[in-house]
Structure 1
Amino acid sequence: MLIIPAIDLREGKCVRLVEGRLDRETVYSDDPVAVARLWEEQGARWLHVVDLDGAFSGSPKNLDMISNILMAVRIPVQIGGGIRDMAVIEELKGLGVARVILGTAAIINPSLVAEACRFFGESVVVGIDARNGKVAIEGWGVTAEKNTLELAAEMNSLGVKRVVFTDIWRDGTLKGPNLAAIEEVARATGMKIIASGGISTAADLFALKALEPLGVEAVIMGKSLYAGTVTMREALAIARGEMGEQVC
């Protein structure tokens, strides 16, 4: 299982939101590039970068910062936030982005997802952001009628192999991941799952590690790392199976 630190960009800064709400923002650094280097130095093998301004506006707003991060680290980076047409996907891939994450586009323009999968294969990931079982889009400001399992099945049929699953009510709260929902999506689809939202303790990571045989291949960690409730060293050891649960 991979541990993927999150860097959420807003107005060029590294921030974290609670439940995706702009009025519940914490600024962790004015230098996201330094943060990216830090996570790489501490052993991260991937980075997860979200352009929050892009997610809310519908088009990328932090491309210069994203480019700077890509130049500063050697590990692969996946990008989400405001990616809603093929031109943006091609631009990001041209910058060196390893994976693009499509969220809103999966609901409003599934043909784009299909086209992107044809051209870029597993470099295309779909973000399924859940609120009470329904899919939230447009920076989580709008709740669609489609439920998470329906969207996952549709994306699977279009060629998507991997999804980032986030429970919005857990995101940034340190209340623990929605294990039941993550397991449900994994069992129903057989897709590769990157779990996100609510991770707080070592116990949460052990619980997600137990779902690895179902396809949970990675965990995105944000606030827990920034707040220090779990260290990167501890998280990586658990992910590699080097720590027994009783040790923690």
Structure 2
Amino acid sequence: MDIYPAIDLKDGKAVRLYKGDMQSAKVYGEALGFAQEIEAMGAQWLHIVDLNGAFAGEPRNKEVIKQILSHTSLKIELGGGIRTQEHIAQYQDLGVERIILGSVALQDPEFALKMAESYTIAIGIDARDGKVATQGWAKEENVEASAFAARFKGSKVDAIICTDINRDGALSGINVAFTQSIAQASGIYTIASGGFADARELETLSANPHISGVIIGKAFYEHRIDLQKYMKPQNELA
């Protein structure tokens, strides 16, 4: 099970939202400091979401992201407001490892498929009650998440990141059934997100052959899990 510690960026700070509500943002501190702490624990990857960018439809926290890239050796997967080839190219030129396309992938799947031919692309599938949500989760579309995931089966998309919005930031547990349905529909490396609660959940997720990774955010910030303990196997493999 690949672990992706997460930093959500709002106005340059590391925050966590509750069920995707920007008004619920709890500020934890400076993003770079958390990134360095995460790296010191032995993490290989860092999952970053530019929340301002997700709502604005274009990148908004680029300077902080550049700082993290400059001052750590973490592999970064990044999403939030990335909707053009220019945005993708700029971030990959900066050193971002994997670019997450969300809203634009739903609006224009052919664009996402084309970008995956030239760049390392993940598709972000964020859903509320099984229906895909876009525009920073503010707009719910009449599209079933699993049907959308199936659109990318057999493509060069590098990963799918699926989030159950109703569980995000709630520490209520990953929606395993939802994540598995996305993985089976797409046949692509699938990362679970939304509601990770504590270390016990890693056993359940690791036992599921369809789920390849998990994003851990609030559980880390609220000290529900000792990440360093679970990063050790990744260090041994590195």
Give the alignment's TM-score, normalised by structure 1.
0.91
Q: Is 1:128–2:125 an aligned residue pair?
A: yes
**Can you list the C-alpha shifts for 1:55-86, whole angstroms capped at 9, x where unaligned?**
01100001111111111111211110000010
- 1:56-205 equivalence runs, <5 A: 56-120=55-119, 123-205=120-202
Which sections of structure 1, spanning at least 5 residues, go unmatched? 241-248
**Can you list the C-alpha shifts for 1:172-201, whole angstroms capped at 9, x where unaligned?**
000001011112222233211111111111
Q: Is 1:55–2:54 an aligned residue pair?
A: yes
1:235 counterpart residue number: 230
2:212 counterpart residue number: 217
CA contact (8 A) 2:49 2:79 kept: yes
Q: Which runs of 4+ in 1 moved over 6 A?
A: none
CA distance in 2, matches of 1:27, 1:46: 22
1:27 counterpart residue number: 27
Bigger shift: 230-239 or 128-137? 230-239
Which sections of structure 2, spanning at least 5 residues, go unmatched? none
Letter in 1 for 2:49: V
* TM superposition shift of 1:237: 5.6
CA contact (8 A) 1:205 1:238 kept: no
CA distance in 2, matches of 1:234, 1:21: 31
CA contact (8 A) 1:40 1:73 kept: yes
* TM superposition shift of 1:118: 1.4
Bigger shift: 97-106 or 227-236? 227-236
* TM superposition shift of 1:238: 8.3
CA distance in 2, matches of 1:227, 1:136: 27
Q: Is 1:226–2:226 an aligned residue pair?
A: no
Letter in 1 for 2:84: D
CA distance in 2, matches of 1:170, 1:235: 23
CA contact (8 A) 2:154 2:187 kept: no
CA distance in 1, matches of 2:223, 2:234: 17
Bigger shift: 85-94 or 183-192? 183-192
* TM superposition shift of 1:108: 1.0
* TM superposition shift of 1:146: 1.1
What SS does the aligned partner of 1:201 have? coil
CA contact (8 A) 1:113 1:158 kept: no
Give the alignment's TM-score, normalised by structure 2.
0.95
What SS does the aligned partner of 2:153 have? helix
CA contact (8 A) 1:165 1:196 kept: yes
State the Cα RMSD in Å. 1.7
CA distance in 2, matches of 1:158, 1:143: 25
CA distance in 1, matches of 2:109, 2:183: 21
CA distance in 2, matches of 1:169, 1:148: 14
Letter in 2 for 1:170: R
What SS does the aligned partner of 1:146 have? strand
